[in-house]
Amino acid sequence: MANPELLRVARVPLFHVFRPPSAASASASASASSEAIRRASSPREALHLFKLRVRRSQQLDVDFDSHAAVFALKSCSRPPFDLLLPHIHGFILKRNLSSHVFVASALLHVYSLTSPSCARALFDEIPHRNIVTENTMLACLYRAGDLSAARTVFNGMAQKDIVTWSTMIGAYMDMGQRAISFALFRDMMNDTDLKPDPLMFVTLLTCCSRTGSLHLMGRSIHAYAEKNGLEINVQLGTSLIDMYAKSGFLKTAYNVFERIPEKNVMHWTAMICGLAMHGHGREAVAFFEKMQETGLSEITATGAHDLSSNIDSYCAVQQTESSCAIAAQLLGNIDIIVHNKEEHVA
């Protein structure tokens, strides 16, 4: 690997600026095992143990354990220890440890979190990539907002797993290109044997609720989940209720709600918001009171905000004395719950 950006520190003495964290760590055996580095209680301790391993291997003139380098790399993902990453990289190059795919993958992962440009340079020079390195690079480019480069990597992958597809679908979703997200999902369903996981469905259903794409995609996703016996967890159940409720299909939303065996505040909030949004203020109040009767009064700040926003919209649309009275009642109930929760925390 000869990229100047990646090699610029290869000649710097390893850990030249590193200070041992404590006397206890400094007295650790120079032959500390890779397992000791992995089990270190802090990045500082792990890197100090790694330093001792380096010295020991140099004194004995023996091959260095590549696993120790991987564990040390994991300690460099956050400041201030990321400053030591180039030093460890230089050591890896000198010892030719990057020929091990798992070392190259670990190095790429840390660079993807600390320096996308270095990650891309490293990725381009890895001779033997696997699906782990490719997924790592894909996620790095997605986080960096380089959708074009991410798609190039995606298209060039010989193998794609559910992580690959989820990353790319989520990337287009976040960039507002929802039609492409749906198209990719169809491609995955039609051209592969992969089965979507609940997280992918939550991503797609959230998009459906925001864009009103119920008939385009939402119903087919719900049908697939039921046909394949996919577990309706908290997030998926909330997303289904939210999608149907916001699209005006309140009866269907209620049917989904009723089929959830253990309902939580998120499920109730989605139903109440949907009712309030579409002008069913009295039903929203009744639902809210029923939620309180079940003992679920730990409404979150986000849930309170969503409810309040939808209730305000309901009052603005209805513009009648009775509707505003209903809205005031519901808002008052929310305020009481939030206030009681704050007092309990205090």
Give the residue among 66, 31, 63 at the shortest CA–CA distance from 49: 31
- Please give the average per-residue pLDDT across 279-303, as a whole number: 72
Cα 99 → chain centroid? 30
pLDDT of 16 > 50? The answer is no
- Please give the average per-residue pLDDT across 229-258, as a whole number: 88
pLDDT tens-place string over residues 75-118: 998 889 989 999 999 999 988 888 888 899 999 999 999 999 99
Prediction pTM value: 0.68
CB atoms within 10 A of CB 343: 8
List all residues 6 or more positions away from 279 whose beta carbon is below 8 Å from its beta carbon: 314, 317, 318, 323
Number of Cα atoms under 13 Å in the Cβ half of residue 203 = 22
Burial (CB < 10 A; 0-12, 13-18, 19+), residue 47, is buried
Domain boundary among 104, 128, 152: 128
Six-digit token string for 281? 């203020």
Q: If pLDDT is split at 50, 70 and 90, which confidence band does 18 have?
A: very low
> Does residue 109 form part of some domain?
yes
Q: What is residue 217's predicted lDDT score, i.e. its pLDDT?
A: 76
pLDDT of 14 > 50? The answer is no
For the chain, percent of residues with pLDDT exceeding 70: 73
- Please give the average per-residue pLDDT across 203-217, as a whole number: 73
Distances (CA, A) of 150 to 104, 142, 263: 19, 6, 38
Q: What is residue 277's predicted lDDT score, i.e. its pLDDT?
A: 78
> Does residue 213 form part of some domain?
no
- Residue given tokens 């051209």 in the structure block: 191
pLDDT of 151 > 80? The answer is yes
Q: What is residue 176's predicted lDDT score, i.e. its pLDDT?
A: 85
Q: If pLDDT is split at 50, 70 and 90, which confidence band does 339 have?
A: very low
> Does residue 96 form part of some domain?
yes
pLDDT of 73 > 60? The answer is yes
Average pLDDT, the chain: 78
Q: What is residue 337's predicted lDDT score, i.e. its pLDDT?
A: 42
How many domains in the chain? 2
Q: If pLDDT is split at 50, 70 and 90, which confidence band does 184 have?
A: very high
158-180 burial code (b ≥16 CB/10 A, e <16): eebeebbbbbbbbbbbeeeebeb
> Does residue 301 form part of some domain?
yes
Domain boundary among 128, 151, 175: 128
Query: How far is 314 from 277, CA to CA, in rounded Å?
Result: 6
pLDDT of 180 > 60? The answer is yes
- Please give the average per-residue pLDDT across 174-203, as a whole number: 88
- Please give the average per-residue pLDDT across 130-139, as a whole number: 94
> Does residue 335 form part of some domain?
yes
List all residues 6 or more positions away from 241 whose beta carbon is below 8 Å from its beta carbon: 253, 256, 257, 267, 270, 271, 274
Say if residues 330 and 291 touch (Cβ distance below 8 Å): no
pLDDT of 12 > 50? The answer is no
For residues 341 and 86, which has the higher predicted lDDT (pLDDT)? Answer: 86
- Residue given tokens 């790694």 in the structure block: 50
Q: What is residue 282's predicted lDDT score, i.e. its pLDDT?
A: 78
pLDDT of 322 > 90? The answer is no
Q: What is residue 225's predicted lDDT score, i.e. its pLDDT?
A: 85
pLDDT of 345 > 80? The answer is no
> Does residue 284 form part of some domain?
yes
Q: What is residue 123's predicted lDDT score, i.e. its pLDDT?
A: 94
- Please give the average per-residue pLDDT across 134-139, as a whole number: 95
Query: How far is 188 from 192, CA to CA, in rounded Å?
Result: 5
> Does residue 52 form part of some domain?
yes
Q: What is residue 213's predicted lDDT score, i.e. its pLDDT?
A: 61
Q: What is residue 143's predicted lDDT score, i.e. its pLDDT?
A: 92
pLDDT tens-place string over residues 216-226: 678 888 888 88
Domain boundary among 108, 128, 148: 128
The CA angle 191-192-193, to the nearest 5 degrees, is 140
> Does residue 217 form part of some domain?
no
| Cα torsion 306, 309, 312, 318: sign | negative
Q: What is residue 312's predicted lDDT score, i.e. its pLDDT?
A: 55
Q: 26-35, 44-53, 132-141, 306-315: which has the minimum mean pLDDT?
A: 26-35
Full residue range of the structural domain in which residue 317 is found: 263-346
List all residues 6 or more positions away from 60 whose beta carbon is below 8 Å from its beta carbon: none
